[in-house]
């Protein structure tokens, strides 16, 4: 015969309270505060700390410049920024900032971005064997994009037909934005920008 056990109400109350507290802690850890309804997304790429221009009235923390994450702000509070825009700001040839509004994205694909801050005239992103161009050649201080399918592939940066640095394997994931940056010294870096909220 099966026995039934009944817990006192006080015990049940303690269990419920602990579960709620645990759930709240998990929620706080898993989810950031939602962005404002008129959110705009701005990132500064290629800048050292303290030398980023003052654009859209934004105050950019040094750690954000180092991470090259997007700053999430209310567009209503920042003149020149529109709701829903993703903006990348890079230093131009004469250090004047270049403001680039990114294209609308298909969230089922991956957005691959190539930024050329070097003097090289034909920087491209290709498969490691050089046979397939993922992003066609771009001139100095230009930005280009291409949407690709989620896939694992070995890619490299090319200056004309010459490979810069070493090829690297990348696993593209759906709705990801991967950026390849060629610095003014010809160095190559790859990063995926995250998001940092701003209360302003």
92-136 confidence digits (pLDDT tens): 888 789 999 998 889 999 999 999 999 999 999 999 999 999 999
Instruction: Say yes or no: 121 and 155 in one domain.
Output: yes
Interatomic CA distance for residues 136 and 125, integer angstroms = 7
Encode pLDDT of 63-94 as tens digits: 777 788 999 999 999 989 999 999 999 998 88
Cα 39 to Cα 59, 97, 114, 172, distances in angstroms: 16, 22, 24, 26
Domain-embedded: residue 28? no
Q: How many domains does the chain have?
A: 2
Task: Write down the pLDDT at residue 32.
Answer: 60
φ/ψ of residue 110, rounded to 5: -115, 135
Please check whether residues 136 and 153 belong to one and the same domain.
Answer: yes
pLDDT at 67: 83
Last-in-domain residue among 49, 67, 102: 102
Give me the domain span that covers residue 107: 103-194
Residue 27 pLDDT class (50, 70, 90 cuts): very low
Q: 78 with 116, same domain? A: no
- Tell me the average pLDDT across 20-38: 57
What pLDDT was estimated at residue 140?
Answer: 97
pLDDT-wise least confident of 5-14, 31-40, 108-117? 5-14
Task: Please check whether residue 86 lies inside any domain of the structure.
Answer: yes
Q: What is the per-residue pLDDT for 47?
A: 86
Q: How confident is the model at residue 50 (pLDDT cuts 50, 70, 90)?
A: low
What pairing do the DSSP bridges indicate for beta strands 177-182 and 86-91? unpaired
What is the rounded distance in angstroms from the CA atom of residue 1 to the CA atom of residue 16? 30
Question: Would the pTM of this model clear 0.85, i.e. be above it?
Answer: no
Q: What is the pLDDT of residue 200?
A: 54
What percent of the chain has pLDDT above 70? 81
Strands (E), 61-132: 70-74, 86-91, 97-101, 110-116, 123-127
97 and 108 in a single domain? The answer is no
The pLDDT of residue 154: 98
**Does some domain include residue 4?**
no
Quote the percentage of the chain above a pLDDT of 90. 60
Check whether residue 114 and residue 179 sit in a common domain: yes
Residues in a beta bridge with 111: 147, 177
HEC string of 28-52?
A: HHHCCCCCCCCEEEEEECCCCCCCC
């Amino acid at each position: 015969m099966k026995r039934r056990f009944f817990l006192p109400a006080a015990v049940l109350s303690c269990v419920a309270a602990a579960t709620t507290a645990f759930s709240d802690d998990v929620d706080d850890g898993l989810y950031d505060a939602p962005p404002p309804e008129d959110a705009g997304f701005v990132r500064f790429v290629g800048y050292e700390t303290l030398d980023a221009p003052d654009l859209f009235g934004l105050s950019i923390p040094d750690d954000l410049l180092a991470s090259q994450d997007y700053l999430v702000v209310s567009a209503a509070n920042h003149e020149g920024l529109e709701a829903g825009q993703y903006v990348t700001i890079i230093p131009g040839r004469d250090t004047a900032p270049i403001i680039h509004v990114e294209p609308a994205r298909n969230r089922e694909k991956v957005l691959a971005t190539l930024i050329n801050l070097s003097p090289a005239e034909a920087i491209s992103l290709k498969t490691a064997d050089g046979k397939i161009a993922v992003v066609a050649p771009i001139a100095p201080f230009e930005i280009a994009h291409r949407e690709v399918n989620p896939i694992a592939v070995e890619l490299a940066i090319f200056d004309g037909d010459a490979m810069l640095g070493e090829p690297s394997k990348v696993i593209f994931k759906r709705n990801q934005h991967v950026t390849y940056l060629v610095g003014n010294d010809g160095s190559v870096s790859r990063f995926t920008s995250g998001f940092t909220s701003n209360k302003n």
